[in-house]
Amino acid sequence: MAGIGFSLKRLFQKKGILNLCKAYGYSGIVTVGPMFLGVLLLLGVSFVARIGGMNSHDRDLLNCMLTYSLLASLLISSIFNMVVTRFVSDRIYEEKEEEIMPSFYGCVVLELIVCIATYGVFLLFSGAKFLHILLCLWFAMVMIVVWTEMIYMTALKDFQAIVLSFAISLMFAFLLALLFILFGWTSLESLFLCVIIGYGILSVRYLRLMLEYFPKSYGSCFAFLRWFDKYPTLALCGFMVRFGLFSHIIVMYFGPLQVQVEGLFYNAPEYEIPALIAFFSLLVTTISFVVSVEVNFYPKYSSYYGLFTDRGAIGDIYLAGKEMLDMLQREIIYLGCKQLFTTVLFIVLGPPIFKLILPGMSNNAIAIYKFLCAGYGTYAIANSLMLIELYFEDYGGALIGSSVFSIIGTAFTIMQVKNGDVGYFGVGFFAGCIFFYFLSLAHLDWFTRRLPYFLLSKQSLVPGQEKGLFSKIGRWAQTRYEKKNARA
């Protein structure tokens, strides 16, 4: 989280319900703001398109284009996210903050190249109109910038500016869409442009905040690539978690619930709508994790590791480790209780609300929704356990859990699609989450029991130079930058 916990702790120390709501609100916006904005914009654009008189085909195509572009941006950025997060954290810890902004520029450039080479090629063969291809690619690229900015935004302390940027971009997109309706310009292209402009404003304001916080820049834009060779499992772990989270939806585009909208654009509304609503059930744990772990656990964690670097006594180290693990156990239990309550609430109250708001929702969709609620709830806790593993630098354990989650969830969903068990769709994703949870819990328990060994005995006495293709590129880029800077 690169320092967000220190500011949140000050917010939570203030007394009163209003300050408590303020602290949770800020942590929620910083952690899940862009994702929440995406869901709101999808729902808002769908509503505006309906009241604007857009025909059903164009509405479905617009939803498909937005969904495909969001998925593409999320999957592409997931390859870089965890590695860049580690790089930013290391630069802040080593007080080399001038190298942070160049890494942002280099990361975004590489992500956009990957986006054009993958999603761009898909769009060319999708059968979409040329203008639609440009809009989809433009939106995916803007989203990639936003997801990458969120890595760096966790280091900022100006929560009010972050929330203000979020609100301005959201309101501007909705107001622009309503303005188009008033002037009779309601079309797929105009509403898509509203979404792009809304996220574009968010990305520009986030970039401005980053430049204010990191005004100095020094070093090559691609020096961060050395971290891919230094922590290769982080890139795989980030991708596997993100792929496992969305693969079950992608698989449904090829199953009995699929609806071909146009060309290669498919949707599965009987599965997507329950998945979208069930997804909200994990936001409680996502926000609580940031608050509980960053505010309560991190001080114990920092104290324990500080005793090793400050030559603390063995007895003090033992007591600090026990306090840290006891705190961790309590926070995990609290997270589990919160998520269990939230999941039960969603399962119990969701179906009657659906029947009231969406009277055409089938019994199969209701059953799918219940399985997905259980799946997302389990995933929320499992993902929190995996993030704790990353805290302790147990990258191997995190990769094993995330890979099993992705492989089993995807494989089971494919088997269900082949068998046509519509009433049990969602069980495959739930199964992957169950394996993810138990593997992460077991490995975290095993690792923390041997924490002093992994902290001391597994470390290199003399740090070696990173080897590999990415390290060579990173060092070459840094050397070239330094020579160019010396001549200037």
Q: How confident is the model at residue 392 (pLDDT cuts 50, 70, 90)?
A: confident
pLDDT at 241 over 80: yes
pLDDT band at 427 (very low <50, low <70, confident <90, very high): very high
How many whole angstroms separate alpha carbon 344 and alpha carbon 31? 24
Q: What is the mean pLDDT of residues 81-105?
A: 88
Question: Considering the chain, what is the average pLDDT of its residues?
Answer: 83
Residue 385 has pLDDT above 80, yes or no: yes
Of residues 390 and 435, more confidently modeled: 435
CA distance 480 to 103: 15
What is the reported pLDDT for 3? 40
Main-chain dihedrals φ then ψ at residue 311, nearest 5 degrees: 60, 50
CB 192 within 8 A of CB 131: no
Give me the pLDDT at residue 6, please.
40
Q: Which two tokens stand for residue 455?
A: 């902290």
What is residue 178's predicted lDDT score, i.e. its pLDDT? 81
Tokens of 199: 């996220």
pLDDT of residue 330: 87
Is the model's pLDDT at 69 over the cut of 90?
Answer: yes
Instruction: Name the more confident of 185 and 23.
Output: 185
DSSP state of 297: I
Nearest to residue 280, comparing CAs of 335, 346, 232, 338?
346
Closest CA to 390 of 232, 234, 200: 234
Position 94 pLDDT exceeds 70: yes
Of 211-215, 292-296, 372-376, least confident by mean pLDDT is 292-296
Q: Which pLDDT does position 483 carry in this prediction?
A: 74
pLDDT at 4: 41
Residue 343: CB atoms within 10 Å: 24
Instruction: Please name the residue ranges forming H helices in 183-220.
Output: 188-213
47-61: average pLDDT: 82
pLDDT at 123 over 70: yes
Q: How far apart are CA 103 and CA 227, in angstroms?
A: 11
User: Is the CB of residue 391 less than 8 Å from the CB of residue 301?
Assistant: yes
Structure confidence at residue 1 (pLDDT): 40
Q: Is the pLDDT of residue 43 over 80?
A: no
Q: Does the structure show a pLDDT above 90 at 482?
A: no
Is 112 a residue whose pLDDT tops 80?
yes
Residue 11, pLDDT > 70, answer no
Average pLDDT estimate for 364-382? 91
pLDDT digits (tens, 9 = 90+) for 70-83: 999 999 999 998 89
- Arithmetic mean of pLDDT, 14-24: 57
More confident residue, 84 or 357: 84
Contact 258, 422 (CB under 8 A): no
pLDDT at 133 over 90: yes
Q: Is the dihedral of CA 108, 287, 357, 181 positive or negative?
A: negative
Of 282, 37, 41, 74, give the one whose Cα is nearest residue 163: 37
On the question of pLDDT at 477 being above 60, the answer is yes
What tokens appear for 213 in the block?
A: 């916080």
Indicate if the pLDDT at residue 13 is higher than 60.
no
Q: Residue 120's pLDDT is what?
A: 95
Tens-place pLDDT, residues 247-292:
999 999 988 888 999 989 998 988 988 888 888 888 777 777 777 6
Cα atoms in the 13 Å half-sphere on the side-chain side of 33: 29
Please check the confidence at residue 374 and state whether its pLDDT lies above 80.
yes
Give the whole-number percent of the chain exceeding pLDDT 90: 31
pLDDT at 115 over 90: yes
Confidence check: pLDDT of 407 > 50: yes
**For residues 181 and 50, is the Cβ–Cβ distance under 8 A?**
no
Question: What's the sign of the alpha-carbon dihedral 155, 156, 159, 165?
Answer: negative
Type of residue found at 318: Y
Mean pLDDT calculated for residue range 203-217 = 88
What's residue 5's pLDDT?
43
Q: What is the pLDDT of residues 320-360, one digit of tens each?
A: 888 888 888 888 888 889 899 999 999 998 888 877 777 77
CB 149 within 8 A of CB 208: no
Per-residue pLDDT, 29: 59
